[in-house]
Amino acid sequence: MTRVYQRVALIGLGLIAGSMALAMRRNGLAGEVTGYARSAATRDTARRIGLVDRVCDSVAEAVAGADLVVLCVPVGAMGAVAAEIAPYLAPGATVSDVGSVKGSVMAEVGPLLRADVHFVPGHPLAGTEHSGPESGFATLFINRWCILTPDAGADRAAVDRLAALWRGMGANVSEMDADHHDLVLAVTSHTPHLIAYTMVGVADDLARVTDSEVIKYSAAGFRDFTRIAASDPTMWRDVFLTNKDATLEILGRFTEELFVLQRAIRSGDGAYLFDYFTRTRAIRRGIIEAGQDTAAPDFGRTGKV
């Protein structure tokens, strides 16, 4: 594949940055990939496993001469990191990010960047419940969506070039308004995560009562919830704090709906439950047809493709 950037700097070296580094290397998309992480232990690990071409001990060194800088830190840290890198950015460089919330990143990072730098926020809809520099793998983005949310005045060539990088890593790319992104993700990702966290928390309280039977007999359903609820706590704390309005809006709808189903159970309204469950079954088919999951029954997952 063709090289898209001469030098890519990854700030933050967790699951997403690591997977980007490995995907770029595998596909020859960048001349050099530099990396920086605040934690010395993370930098040491990244060096040991050769995650990027050059692990730097300062952001200044990492971003110097880079034509793309990607912020791969939790959403709550984006502003501070942007302020740190801003003085060292090369003229004409593109700055992007991989945060799960886009409105707050645009509001916090955008104003800190010079006029001669392009800002193209992004969000790859990909991940696992693991985190850290050793959790990345080159195929993470294949057939997953990456949503870019440039503002109206963004440089077209800079946006297209970043889109080419994501396509080169296997992703499908789309563009939308940041606020719309945050609402869609509140439905498809943020609220489901909060619900899973809650259910696992409830079970954890009860586990003390039932002497670990909850873990021992964790059936399908709960088992999937625990996987979701094992995701990185810092990342998710920041998601809920920064996408507060959309999450609270969807949570409100969820609670209303749950109360209606709860009343149907209490009153023994089997017809209502049956119709509801039949309707939700259909949406699953839509997802399989959209190529975002397989129809294979889920148990005994065998891991990475």
**Residues 48-87 contacting a copy of itself, CB under 8 A:** 76
**Which pair of structure tokens corresponds to residue 220?**
């399908």
Q: How far is the CB of 146 from a copy of itself (least distance, A)?
A: 11
Interaction of residue 152 with a copy of itself, rule CB under 8 A? no
Q: Which is nearer to a copy of itself, 115 or 271 (CB)?
A: 271
The whole-angstrom separation of Cα 121 and Cα 165 is 14
Site string for a copy of itself, 169-198 (x = CB under 8 A): -----------x--xxx-xxx-xxxxxxxx
Q: How far is the CB of 144 from a copy of itself (least distance, A)?
A: 8
3-state secondary structure of 250: helix
Q: How far is the CB of 289 from a copy of itself (least distance, A)?
A: 8
Which residues are within 8 A (CB) of 227 and not within 5 positions of it... i.e. 6 or more apart? 129
Interaction of residue 166 with a copy of itself, rule CB under 8 A? no
Phi, psi of 101 (to 5 degrees): -125, 135
**Which pair of structure tokens corresponds to residue 171?**
């992703």
Asked if 112 and 276 touch (Cβ cutoff 8 Å), the reply is no
Region 219-278 residues binding a copy of itself, contact defined as CB under 8 A: 219-231, 233-234, 236-238, 240-241, 244, 247-248, 250-251, 253-255, 257-258, 261-262, 265-266, 268, 270, 273-274, 276-278
Interaction of residue 38 with a copy of itself, rule CB under 8 A? no
The 10 Å Cβ neighbour count of residue 11 is 28
Interaction of residue 200 with a copy of itself, rule CB under 8 A? yes
3-state secondary structure of 285: helix
Q: How far is the CB of 114 from a copy of itself (least distance, A)?
A: 30
Q: How far is the CB of 262 from a copy of itself (least distance, A)?
A: 6
Q: DSSP H helical segments within 30-91, as ranges?
A: 40-49, 59-63, 78-85
Number of helices and strands (H, E) in the chain? 13, 9
Interaction of residue 153 with a copy of itself, rule CB under 8 A? no
